[in-house]
Amino acid sequence: MNATAETELLMLPGPVPVAPRILRALSKPMINHRGPEFKQLLDSVLEKLQPVFRTENDVLVLSGSGTCAMEAAIGNIGRGKTYASVENGKFGERLKTLGSLYGRSVPVVTDWGASIDLAAVVAALDSGADAITLIHNETSTGMTNNVEKIGTLCRKYDALLIMDGVSSIGGMEAEIDKWGVDIAFTGSQKCLGMPPGLSMITVSERAWDLIRDAQKRPYYADLVAHKKSADKGQTPYTPTLPLFFALEEALKMLEEEGLDTRITRHSIYAEAIRAASRAMGLELFPQVNELSTYSDTVTAIKMPSGIKFATLSEEMRRRGVIIAGGQERLKGTIFRISNMGHVSKGDLLQTVEKLELVLLENGVVNEKGAGTLTADCALEEL
Amino acid sequence: MNATAETELLMLPGPVPVAPRILRALSKPMINHRGPEFKQLLDSVLEKLQPVFRTENDVLVLSGSGTCAMEAAIGNIGRGKTYASVENGKFGERLKTLGSLYGRSVPVVTDWGASIDLAAVVAALDSGADAITLIHNETSTGMTNNVEKIGTLCRKYDALLIMDGVSSIGGMEAEIDKWGVDIAFTGSQKCLGMPPGLSMITVSERAWDLIRDAQKRPYYADLVAHKKSADKGQTPYTPTLPLFFALEEALKMLEEEGLDTRITRHSIYAEAIRAASRAMGLELFPQVNELSTYSDTVTAIKMPSGIKFATLSEEMRRRGVIIAGGQERLKGTIFRISNMGHVSKGDLLQTVEKLELVLLENGVVNEKGAGTLTADCALEEL
């Protein structure tokens, strides 16, 4: 039987489980988006977002998902620019597509799940790329790229650094200013533990210079229009009000927990999933080296032989836990478990326990309880 | 003292008051946007939207406001097209801006609040315009343009017709197929009585032909990607789930009331506001002729001498009613009262009564109660 949405545990890398108090905030009656109440709300969330991004630069909120911000990041920079498009997963590929749509893209591609090819990045910069685009935390492969190293290179070549922080900002170490990131963005339905619908984007002074000079900018996601309106406590077009109410509450919750505590929690959660996976004889998907680490927000595990993803996900779903599969070329070869959003230790343990049960029943693992016990031990650190 | 959002009556042309059952729907827990539950929801809302648009064409939902759909309408058609951009208000001007951004715009401009210049439209078509863009109901001026006449012209010249139905579709007569409209769109926060955050767009077969052939399309608002995903019961990027839950509820409410009944209700509401305004000696802003009518969703009234908009709106707000001013060049010269969304007869009467009170206190009107009484009589038709 179908589990109902009320009881399904979404261990997906978005949408993530949302805390009841954030869900309740969505239901507030409408307000005038040109009035003082909205101004107060916007001023407050923009101020609170800067420390989440660890930046002194402007942060803006767009009424659209992470992809909206991704398009804004590249589309606002101006036509005719050359982007060194680092790709080692599905979202890196999307940045490459956007680079070609708005300018010229020099692809810097490695296998999905493999680490960045630093020599190829240098070659792209040598050939005169204006900007590097890359994903900080590749949701599709469960791998975190070392942005700091790329940031150092960008400064050396005076190139712009555009970073997708959709599944990292607000839940992993993401040092926008320290790493020299010019444009970074995230989505509401990831580390902030909100429903999908908003994205947040930060812009450095030197990125602003390029954006202001751009011959053409997108209209709905025009960052100059957003900045001009934000300075008056407004948005250029009608904002998705319920999500702004939710954002205010989500940022309150983040302040209460503390960003560092949340980062540590995510790291312990993810380590518990990784340790449990290894204990069950499963193999992690990413090929990490000095330019990468396993992601602390989403874990990608190779599909073990003896079970298909369709069976695994359906049997998990019947037990009330929703997990993600591989996307596009990774379909059928990996499965993914996220630990973002309103996920308790119990939720995490339950996920591992049910995974172990399904794998046992399907003869994929033989030893009973090794995974669950390992996760339980790892979670004791919290 | 500030009235709280709980008690403020938003007589704005968006955000509009939202029914409690729609607000409650926003708070549902998240679901997997790639799962069967979302597919069921999307299939159901897309089916229910066709009769709202009075079309057999595809209807798609974008996770962005009406402006997002407006950009999608023009941005997807392809570069290098010539748009005859009909402008007689702020939103017509926005269509013109978008026409220039994505192609070439031939402006067909009359004063804001004046009717369309049909001869100029014909001239633009004669000069080879590929498409006409126009606003059905100009929210900024309280005027409804006669789209049917323009549609007939478009067919004669084999030009595309792109119509903004943001403040008309779902609450006024808007006959997409009968009028020969190729692309039409609306926003969630208008006649559907929802919070802002979604837009709905319909595309005719001949518009699809152009869109599929387009060399470049926007990414986030790529209509081909939306159509491809919709056929599988999905959206190309993570959808604003709470607004989709609300849309399902809003369409249920619209079915319960009936589209014709809602259209009649809006028409009686707006006539009550117009009649009351005249009874108070106020003058309506639009200069209507055979190519236009007064809008049945938003009424624009000239600012009477003896009071400034800032005073009027502030004194109304203190009494718990929020009204809109003029935008841009109309700032200070008009004020606007909407009757869209969850607005009862009592709410409407209260708005007129408070308006009359403020105008009395400021010496703008002398006769006590004429406006309120007139509105009351007009509302008896309901």
Instruction: Indicate whether B277 and B143 sit together in one domain.
Output: no
Alpha helices by DSSP H, listed for A103-196, are 118-126, 147-157
For residue B217, give its domain range. 20-255
Distance CA B263, CA A71 (A): 38
Contact A12 B6 (CB under 8 A): no
Q: Where residue A346 sits, what CATH number does that domain have?
A: 3.90.1150.10
Q: What is the pLDDT of residue B78?
A: 76
pLDDT digits (tens, 9 = 90+) for A238-296: 999 999 999 999 999 999 999 999 999 999 999 999 999 999 999 999 999 999 999 99
Query: Omega before B13 cis (within 30°)?
Result: no
Phi–psi pair at A143, nearest 5 degrees:
-120, 140
Contact B30 A37 (CB under 8 A): no
Q: Percent of chain A, pLDDT > 70?
A: 98
Tokens of B210: 């152009």
Tell me which residue in A18, A68, A189 faces B64 most closely, judged by beta carbons.
Answer: A68
pLDDT at A4 over 70: no
Chain B residues with CB under 8 Å of A18 CB are 29-30
pLDDT digits (tens, 9 = 90+) for A173-192: 999 999 999 999 999 999 99
Q: What is the pLDDT of residue A1?
A: 32
Instruction: Indicate whether B313 and B190 sit together in one domain.
Output: no
Q: What is the pLDDT of residue A7?
A: 73
Alpha helices by DSSP H, listed for A86-145, are 90-102, 118-126
Q: What is the pLDDT of residue B3?
A: 40
Q: pLDDT band at residue A78, thresholds of 50, 70 and 90?
A: confident
**Residue B1, in any domain of the structure:** no
**Hunting for tokens 């000696």 — which residue is that?**
B281
DSSP annotation string for B295-319: -SSEEEEEPPTT--HHHHHHHHHHT
DSSP annotation string for B190-233: STT---SS-EEEEE-HHHHHHHHH-S---STT-HHHHHHHHTTT
pLDDT at A210 over 50: yes
Instruction: Indicate whether A55 and A121 sit together in one domain.
Output: yes
Q: Where residue A204 sits, what CATH number does that domain have?
A: 3.40.640.10
Contact B238 A97 (CB under 8 A): no
pLDDT digits (tens, 9 = 90+) for A299-332: 999 999 999 999 999 999 999 999 999 999 999 9
Instruction: Indicate whether B293 and B231 sit together in one domain.
Output: no
Instruction: Report the Cα–Cα distance between both ends of chain A, in Å, rounded.
Output: 35
Q: pLDDT band at residue A6, thresholds of 50, 70 and 90?
A: low
Listed range (A3-17, A71-85, A229-243, B322-336) with the worst mean pLDDT: A3-17
Q: What is the pLDDT of residue B7?
A: 73
Residues A49, A69 contacting (CB under 8 angstroms): no
**Residue B3, in any domain of the structure:** no
Instruction: Indicate whether A245 and A342 sit together in one domain.
Output: no
Tokens of A292: 């990468």
Domain count, chain B: 2
Domain boundary among A255, A276, A300: A255
Measuring CA to CA, which residue among A350, A349, A356, A348 is closest to residue A280? A356
Q: What is the pLDDT of residue B5?
A: 45
Distance CA B256, CA B288 (A): 33
Q: What is the mean pLDDT of each run of 10 residues along chain B (382 residues)?
A: 62 96 98 96 98 98 98 92 98 98 97 97 97 98 98 97 98 98 98 98 97 94 98 98 98 98 98 98 97 98 97 97 97 98 97 98 94 97 88
Whether the CB of B10 is below 8 Å from some CB of chain A: the reply is yes
Phi–psi pair at B269, nearest 5 degrees:
-55, -50
Tell me which residue in B14, B64, B322 faces A63 most closely, judged by beta carbons.
Answer: B64
Residues A88, A114 contacting (CB under 8 angstroms): yes
Q: Is B331 exposed, middle or buried (0-12, 13-18, 19+ CB in 10 A)?
A: exposed
Chain B residues with CB under 8 Å of A195 CB are 30, 240-242
Model-level pTM?
A: 0.97
Domain boundary among A255, A279, A306: A255
ipTM: 0.97
Tokens of A132: 């590097």
Q: How far is CA B347 from the centre of its chain?
A: 20
Residues A214, A79 contacting (CB under 8 angstroms): yes
Distance CA A74, CA B222 (A): 16
Q: What is the pLDDT of residue A259?
A: 98
